[in-house]
Amino acid sequence: MDLIQGAGKSYILSLIERKTRYVILRKLDNGKMADDVEKSVFEALFPYKKQIFSITTDNGGEFANHLNLCKKLGVTVYFTDSYSAWQKGSIENVNKLVRQFLPKGTNFDSLDYQEIMNIQKNINSRPRKILNFEKPKDIFFYNFAA
Protein backbone atom coordinates (compact mmCIF):
# COMPACT_ATOMS: atom_id res chain seq x y z
CA MET A 1 0.00 0.00 0.00
CA ASP A 2 1.02 3.57 -0.57
CA LEU A 3 -0.32 7.12 -0.73
CA ILE A 4 -0.52 9.33 -3.79
CA GLN A 5 -0.27 13.02 -2.98
CA GLY A 6 -2.31 15.60 -4.84
CA ALA A 7 -2.19 19.38 -4.62
CA GLY A 8 -2.29 20.72 -1.10
CA LYS A 9 -3.00 18.08 1.48
CA SER A 10 -5.10 15.78 -0.69
CA TYR A 11 -4.25 12.07 -0.83
CA ILE A 12 -5.41 8.82 -2.37
CA LEU A 13 -4.68 5.49 -0.71
CA SER A 14 -3.59 2.87 -3.22
CA LEU A 15 -3.49 -0.86 -2.55
CA ILE A 16 -2.62 -3.72 -4.90
CA GLU A 17 -3.10 -7.45 -4.51
CA ARG A 18 0.22 -8.96 -5.52
CA LYS A 19 -0.93 -12.13 -7.27
CA THR A 20 -3.80 -10.75 -9.38
CA ARG A 21 -2.66 -7.10 -9.60
CA TYR A 22 -6.12 -5.97 -8.48
CA VAL A 23 -6.10 -2.32 -7.40
CA ILE A 24 -8.12 -0.68 -4.63
CA LEU A 25 -8.21 3.12 -4.38
CA ARG A 26 -9.66 5.29 -1.62
CA LYS A 27 -9.63 9.05 -1.25
CA LEU A 28 -8.47 10.26 2.15
CA ASP A 29 -10.70 13.12 3.19
CA ASN A 30 -8.63 14.31 6.16
CA GLY A 31 -5.09 14.25 4.85
CA LYS A 32 -2.64 11.52 5.76
CA MET A 33 -3.30 11.23 9.47
CA ALA A 34 -2.48 7.70 10.69
CA ASP A 35 -5.96 7.18 12.17
CA ASP A 36 -7.65 8.07 8.88
CA VAL A 37 -5.28 5.89 6.87
CA GLU A 38 -5.90 2.97 9.22
CA LYS A 39 -9.68 3.41 8.91
CA SER A 40 -9.54 3.58 5.11
CA VAL A 41 -7.27 0.55 4.82
CA PHE A 42 -9.49 -1.44 7.15
CA GLU A 43 -12.68 -0.51 5.28
CA ALA A 44 -11.09 -1.31 1.91
CA LEU A 45 -9.64 -4.67 2.96
CA PHE A 46 -12.20 -6.00 5.44
CA PRO A 47 -14.33 -7.70 2.75
CA TYR A 48 -11.22 -9.68 1.73
CA LYS A 49 -9.95 -10.32 5.26
CA LYS A 50 -9.75 -14.10 4.81
CA GLN A 51 -7.62 -13.79 1.67
CA ILE A 52 -5.09 -11.27 3.01
CA PHE A 53 -1.94 -12.51 4.70
CA SER A 54 0.41 -9.53 4.62
CA ILE A 55 0.72 -5.88 3.66
CA THR A 56 3.93 -4.19 2.53
CA THR A 57 4.39 -0.45 2.81
CA ASP A 58 7.03 2.20 3.30
CA ASN A 59 8.08 3.75 6.60
CA GLY A 60 5.86 6.83 6.38
CA GLY A 61 4.25 8.13 9.55
CA GLU A 62 0.84 7.70 7.94
CA PHE A 63 1.23 3.94 8.49
CA ALA A 64 2.01 4.29 12.21
CA ASN A 65 -1.17 2.39 13.18
CA HIS A 66 -0.01 -0.77 11.44
CA LEU A 67 -0.29 -2.81 14.64
CA ASN A 68 -4.02 -2.04 14.80
CA LEU A 69 -4.39 -3.31 11.24
CA CYS A 70 -2.47 -6.45 12.18
CA LYS A 71 -4.98 -7.16 14.95
CA LYS A 72 -8.13 -6.17 13.07
CA LEU A 73 -7.31 -7.94 9.80
CA GLY A 74 -5.10 -10.73 11.12
CA VAL A 75 -2.22 -9.79 8.81
CA THR A 76 1.46 -9.06 9.11
CA VAL A 77 2.70 -5.66 7.97
CA TYR A 78 6.14 -5.45 6.40
CA PHE A 79 8.10 -2.27 5.76
CA THR A 80 10.49 -1.56 2.92
CA ASP A 81 13.90 -0.06 3.49
CA SER A 82 14.07 3.73 3.37
CA TYR A 83 14.54 5.19 -0.12
CA SER A 84 14.04 1.75 -1.70
CA ALA A 85 11.00 2.18 -3.95
CA TRP A 86 12.07 -0.85 -6.00
CA GLN A 87 11.12 -3.05 -3.04
CA LYS A 88 7.47 -2.21 -3.71
CA GLY A 89 7.51 -1.91 -7.46
CA SER A 90 3.93 -3.12 -7.99
CA ILE A 91 2.41 -0.28 -5.99
CA GLU A 92 4.71 2.26 -7.60
CA ASN A 93 3.46 1.04 -10.98
CA VAL A 94 -0.15 1.45 -9.79
CA ASN A 95 0.58 5.00 -8.70
CA LYS A 96 1.96 5.68 -12.19
CA LEU A 97 -1.27 4.31 -13.71
CA VAL A 98 -3.38 6.52 -11.45
CA ARG A 99 -1.31 9.51 -12.57
CA GLN A 100 -2.57 8.92 -16.11
CA PHE A 101 -5.99 10.00 -14.82
CA LEU A 102 -4.84 12.42 -12.12
CA PRO A 103 -1.63 14.22 -13.15
CA LYS A 104 0.68 15.78 -10.58
CA GLY A 105 -0.76 19.04 -9.31
CA THR A 106 -4.36 17.75 -9.35
CA ASN A 107 -6.29 18.58 -6.21
CA PHE A 108 -8.04 15.40 -5.11
CA ASP A 109 -10.39 17.29 -2.80
CA SER A 110 -12.74 17.99 -5.71
CA LEU A 111 -13.04 14.28 -6.61
CA ASP A 112 -16.01 12.30 -5.40
CA TYR A 113 -16.23 8.60 -4.57
CA GLN A 114 -17.61 7.67 -8.00
CA GLU A 115 -14.73 9.33 -9.85
CA ILE A 116 -12.21 7.35 -7.77
CA MET A 117 -14.17 4.14 -8.40
CA ASN A 118 -14.18 4.84 -12.16
CA ILE A 119 -10.39 5.14 -12.12
CA GLN A 120 -10.12 1.92 -10.10
CA LYS A 121 -12.49 0.14 -12.50
CA ASN A 122 -10.54 1.36 -15.52
CA ILE A 123 -7.21 0.16 -14.13
CA ASN A 124 -8.64 -3.22 -13.10
CA SER A 125 -10.22 -3.69 -16.54
CA ARG A 126 -6.94 -3.37 -18.44
CA PRO A 127 -5.45 -6.64 -19.66
CA ARG A 128 -1.94 -7.12 -18.27
CA LYS A 129 0.96 -8.90 -19.92
CA ILE A 130 2.08 -10.34 -16.57
CA LEU A 131 -1.39 -11.95 -16.28
CA ASN A 132 -1.25 -13.46 -19.80
CA PHE A 133 -3.38 -10.54 -20.96
CA GLU A 134 -6.16 -11.32 -18.50
CA LYS A 135 -7.82 -8.49 -16.57
CA PRO A 136 -7.00 -8.09 -12.87
CA LYS A 137 -10.69 -7.90 -11.93
CA ASP A 138 -11.46 -11.21 -13.64
CA ILE A 139 -8.62 -13.07 -11.95
CA PHE A 140 -9.20 -11.42 -8.56
CA PHE A 141 -12.89 -12.27 -8.36
CA TYR A 142 -12.34 -15.75 -9.80
CA ASN A 143 -9.70 -16.52 -7.15
CA PHE A 144 -11.38 -14.76 -4.22
CA ALA A 145 -15.08 -15.31 -4.85
CA ALA A 146 -16.56 -16.20 -1.47
* pLDDT, tens digit (0-9, with 9 covering 90-100), for 87-115: 888 999 999 999 999 999 999 999 999 99
CA distance 131 to 21: 8
Other beta carbons within 10 Å of 130: 10
Pairing of strands 2-5, 11-16: antiparallel
Nearest of 71, 17, 12 to residue 37 by alpha carbon: 12
Averaged pLDDT, 39-57: 92
> Which of 58-62, 78-82, 120-124, 137-141 has maximum average pLDDT?
120-124
* Lateral strand order in the sheet of 2-5: 2-5, 11-16, 23-28
Question: What's the whole-number mean pLDDT along residues 13-20?
Answer: 94
Q: How would residue 51 be classed by pLDDT, with cut points 50, 70 and 90?
A: confident
Q: What is the pTM of this model?
A: 0.92
Look at residue 30 and tell me whether its pLDDT is greater than 90: no
pLDDT at 46: 94
The pLDDT tens digits of the residues spanning 104-144 come to 999 999 999 999 999 999 999 999 999 999 999 999 988 77
- Other CB atoms within a 10 A radius of the CB of residue 30 amount to 12
8 A C-beta contact, residue 32 and residue 3? yes
